Amino acid sequence: MELNNDAKLLRIILGEADKLEHSALYDVIVREARSFGLAGATVWRGVMGFGPTTRIRTARILDLSTDLPIIVEIVDTDEKISQFLPILHGLFETAGCGGLVTVEKVTVIRYLHGRQDV
């Protein structure tokens, strides 16, 4: 796979406790992105955040939450990101949970394959 200068960043923000059947929704999203052939995905676990409920969730020991913010970032071509969006929307519909999905233009400086362990 090759990514040129112009690409799109798909950012998905959801809760750590969001599930699709018995799997974490972020895990399902990453696996779907992989099977769809997207360039790659990274999952970030937030240390603090709040959403529409305005309930603050934090990793601080006194307020330890089991539903911290999760951010999934996927970078690929505009075309492939656009084609993946209906799949993503379907996952959210099936899971019955909320979230925030954004797409922004990014400039890829370097995208090279490293050594692949078999």
User: Please, which pLDDT band fits residue 112 given cuts at 50, 70 and 90?
Assistant: confident
Indicate if the pLDDT at residue 102 is higher than 60: yes
C-alpha atoms less than 13 angstroms from C-alpha of 8 in its C-beta half-sphere:
17
DSSP state of 1: -
List, in order, residues 6 or more apart from 19 with CB less than 8 Å away: 25, 95, 97
Q: What is the pLDDT of residue 64?
A: 55
Q: What is the pLDDT of residue 63?
A: 54
Provide the 3-class DSSP secondary structure of residue 33. Answer: helix
**Alpha carbons 34 and 42: distance in angstroms, whole number:** 11
- How is domain 6-107 classified at the CATH fold level? Alpha-Beta Plaits (3.30.70)
Model confidence pLDDT, tens digit, residues 32-80: 999 999 999 999 998 888 777 777 777 666 555 567 899 999 999 999 9
Q: What is the DSSP string of 43-108?
A: EEE-SEE--TT---EE-SGGGB-SS-EEEEEEEE-HHHHHHHHHHHHHHHHHHT---EEEEEEEE-
By residue count, the chain amounts to 118
Nearest one of 1, 24, 15 to 76, comparing CA atoms: 1
Percent of the chain with pLDDT over 90: 64
